[in-house]
A and B are shown apart, each in its own frame.
Chain A
Amino acid sequence: MKTIITSFALLVLTVTTVRAQEPTMEDNLKEAYAIMDTAKGIPSLMTASAKFDLIATKYQDQWVAQYYGAYTKAIISYFEPDIAKKDLFVDEADAYLDKIVVLGTENDHVFVLKALVANARMAVDGEHRWQEYGPIFEENLKKAKELNENNPHIYYLKAVSVFYTPKMFGGGAKKAKPYFEKAKEKYALMTERTVMVPYWGEPQNEDYLKQVNAD
């Protein structure tokens, strides 16, 4: 019996110590985000996406886990060449958005994400969808701005959208430049870079700025 008690005590001890070593959701997200951040195309994006999917499934009640699930799917949809499949990726992104809605999280990041997903939906067939999804994109950016006007993603997304809008519809590099610059300012305000507070887009913003300045 003594042995049993001893081993039980030890067991409890182990439980406590080992629990501390177990990677947190943040660790998991970090790992997946690292793959995503360095991704050059669909293969590594898919790997990252698969990881984010598993994390989102495990941490059903964490909005940030759902956030990255949606974010990755939306990004993949831009890269996917097949029009029919593009929509399917956006569908999955939408499914994550629905989960966030159920969780009741309403912060600036969520509205930015909603704008991003609407933009991804529009990009599938821009010519015919801008009328429907353009306003949804704008509206969500507006809501995000009301909650936190320092969120750089608001300006970054708007900048990219203006950049790719044909000149005759009031877009183009020149019109987009002030938005990229504004985004740069706001990125600079972010003191820490943690995966728990989405911070994507800064290197891309720099790339666009270079391109816009060169034009």
Chain B
Amino acid sequence: MSDDRIFSLTIRPTSLQDVPFADFCYPELESYLYICTVKNKPMTKQFTKTLFSIFSFLFFVSVSMTTFAQTTIKGEVKNQKGEPVSYASVSIQNTIDGTTTGVDGKFSFTTNLKGAQTLVVNLVGYNKATQSITLTDSIYTVAIQLQASAKQLEEVTITAGTIEANNDRSVAVLKPLDIVTTAGAQADVIGAIQTLPGVQRNGGDQTGLMVRGGDVNESSVIVDGTITQNAFNSSVPGVAQRSRLNPFAFKGTAFSSGGYTVRYGQALSAILDLQTTDLPEKNNMNIGAHFAGAYISGSKLMGKNAVEYAANYTNIAPYLAVANTNVDFYEVPQGGGISTRFVSRTENSGIFKMNLTHSFNKSGITIPDPSAAGATFNFGIQNENTLLTTSYKYFINEHVKLFSAFSFSNNTDEISWGASPVYRNDGRLQGRVELWFETKERKFNLLVGSDVQRFDYTQRFDTLIGQFDELLSAGYVEAEWKPILWFAIKPGVRGEYSQLLGKGNIVPRAAFAFRTGEASQISAATGMFYQTAPINYLMQGYRPDFQQSIHYMLNYQWMKKDRTLRVEAYYKSYDQLVRENGTAYTPNQYRFDLGMVDNSGSGYAQGIDFFWRDRKSIKNFDYWISYSYVDTKRLYQNYIDKVTPDYVSDHNLNVIAKYFIMKWQTNISATYSYASGRPYYNPNATGFLSEKSPDFHNFSVTFSYLTTIRKMFTVFYLSLDNVTNQKNVLGYRYSADGTQRFEIIPPMYRSIFLGVNFSLTEFNKDEL
């Protein structure tokens, strides 16, 4: 018993009967006196007089007493499920009388306090519980139930369709760094995205993202709220191109393989939504060199503003010297780029970002002629690209956010297609404004926004000129409501109007999520998506109606202590797909005679995606497995039957493992990819696109050695792609008369890539 209670007991009535007429007494902390009220009014003088006699009486009584009547408060603390809660703090409000619960959730402590008190039970991760108790000199038993706080029982989040890699959340399926360090991805964001479930493994012959049965036209890349029209380097027939995206520029990656938000449209399948980094933490500088070039980048921090700059020169001659390529370069690819970026943190955690990039590339390559199997031709390209993006996020107050974004891009290709010169130019202007607000309890929020995009394409092939320009305006509203901790609903509607088609559409979309346990949840999403016809149709003057798809998906996610399981099943229907009528089928993507174009195409895709990641079981070892199965058929473009398209593998498997060997300061990352054979066109076969190429296998390894050289953090990396030198065959092409068969092969088999990066960060003075 602590002796600070002697005094209070001495003058304290032992029970209410000791204070005649008083109906409520409570301890007044500062004076350690009891204040009593009569009919809720403080006592009058008269009663005070009476009290005095009582006090004097009590005083003598208590002095003669050697022990005092104490109350033992004991009980049990449980959670909602009725399980005992250990380590909870149990105390009497405004005193230091208290204890903590044991592993069995039980507690017991004594107090000298009497009368009406408030018992407070507290524990990190739970809401504070209070209970009124009335203490007499005996044992007081109490049972308390704690409710997990919103933070502990992490709020349900809508996960259907989207895999996020974000540094802002401590628990995420993937982190941006994971993407950069994936072997076989060649440090390309898109290369890494291709290892995620739902994405078709690109054998190396196509440029773009193919998601859940959709072709490369059906996905869109978004950076800071605006669509990046030229996310990839200009396409070269039969040779996959890298994306232009710098993997280190992003702090957040949200890949949506379907059912995505109404903020975006014009993608029948998927979107990749990227957010660039905020203010850098320190001044820094990076210098690097690798088999394909050299670069320098850095940032200068000035209070709440920062300027970043980067310059690079690429020349793949060293790479070609050690690699065996399956295509010949008559002009070694080289190029360069410069970019500058300004970031400013404004008040109320607002942020303004502006980025300007300009790049130039040229190359000459001898490749299989897409229009004549077995023949090759020279393809030369000079590309110039400019991209300006700005975005501004501003909190009007804690619950109201304003977001605006603007982008401008211009892209020019000068191509020599065999003997014919080709000139292509495209530009885009885009703006977006959004207002977001939430209620005070954060249970409901609403997003209202609008985006306008104007883009144009021009192509001159010899004497043939194709051109169009389009103005797309859209408005959208999306609400998110979490009436209870375990349920969320996110309905939205998007309206779009195309000036080119003179038509508009309005689409509904909705997503739901239910938390099913501490670590698991079920999420569902559905929605309608519209997209205008691919640009090669529009450029020739065809104006078919919007193509349409409807997505349904059901997702289960379990995430606990660095282990994640995701399973997602989906069904997607395609309607109003563009079709060419009155022409013969040719497997040439670059065909010019498109016949009569209408919207009579249709199709479907259904399948299941599976993702498992474990970075806990073995120390410094992290692995994930993604597997997708897709069953899809479509009748579109120049197809003559409803079949599985020639870019689809039914089964896609990726196993990615990363192991850090502390002793060697080396990170080893390995990726194994498998894709079942893709259909190819055999004019001699009975069915259309009925034959399939051999399965695709690829095993890649990357070693990174991390060290500090003269205070510069240094990374040496060595990548081996297709270590086993697997001779993958992606499909076959037949000669016009059908008598000869040629293999479609990737641009290279095994390849080696070596590089080094030095990074110098501003130092703090030594504390010694």
Q: Which A residues are closer than 8 A to B by beta carbons?
A: 3-4, 6-8, 10-11, 14-15, 18-19, 21-23, 28, 42-43, 46-47, 49-51, 53-55, 57-58, 82-85, 87-89, 91-92, 124-125, 127-128, 131-132, 134-135, 138, 141-142, 145, 154-155, 158, 166-170, 178-179, 182
Contact = CB atoms under 8 A, between A and B. Distances in A.
B655 to A, nearest CB: 22
A19 B7 contact: yes
Contacts of B151: 84, 88, 91
Interface residues of B, number: 52
B767 A155 contact: yes
State the 5 A-B residue pairs at the shortest beta-carbon distance, nearest first: A7-B56, A50-B89, A18-B7, A46-B87, A168-B706
A179 B768 contact: yes
Q: Point out which of A42, A46, A87 has the most chain B C-beta atoms below 10 A from its C-beta.
A: A46
B713 A169 contact: yes
A127 B383 CA distance: 38
Nearest to A133: B281
Contacts of A49: 89
Given A18-B10, A131-B281, A178-B768, A84 B96 contact: no
Contacts of B167: 128
Interface of B: 2-4, 6-7, 10-11, 52-53, 55-56, 59-60, 86-87, 89-91, 94-100, 103, 122, 124-125, 151-152, 154, 167, 170-171, 175, 177, 281-282, 561-562, 662, 665, 706-708, 711, 713, 764-765, 767-768
A11 B768 contact: no
Given A23-B2, A88-B125, A170-B708, A55 B281 contact: no
A182 B152 CA distance: 40
B98 A47 contact: no
13 contacts: A6-B56, A11-B59, A14-B11, A22-B3, A50-B89, A50-B122, A84-B151, A84-B171, A88-B152, A124-B170, A134-B281, A138-B764, A166-B662
A145 B766 CA distance: 11
A48 B170 CA distance: 28
Contact of A182 (B6, B170, B765, B768): B768
Given A49-B89, A85-B125, A8 B56 contact: yes
Given A88-B124, A88-B152, A135-B282, A83 B170 contact: yes
Main secondary structure of the interface of A (DSSP, over half): helix
A182 B768 CA distance: 7
A180 B193 CA distance: 45
A162 B10 CA distance: 56
A169 B708 contact: yes
Contacts of A168: 665, 706-708, 713
Nearest to B49: A4
A172 to B, nearest CB: 10
Contacts of B103: 43
Contacts of A10: 56, 59
Contacts of B10: 14, 18
Given A8-B56, A50-B89, A54-B98, A89 B768 contact: no
B282 A170 contact: no
A7 B10 CA distance: 12
Contact of A82 (B281, B561, B706, B708): B561
Best-surrounded residue of A10, A53, A128, A135 (most CB of chain B within 10 A): A128
B590 to A, nearest CB: 44
Contact of B91 (A54, A87, A88, A132): A54
B29 to A, nearest CB: 8
A145 B767 contact: yes
A17 to B, nearest CB: 9
Nearest to A132: B281
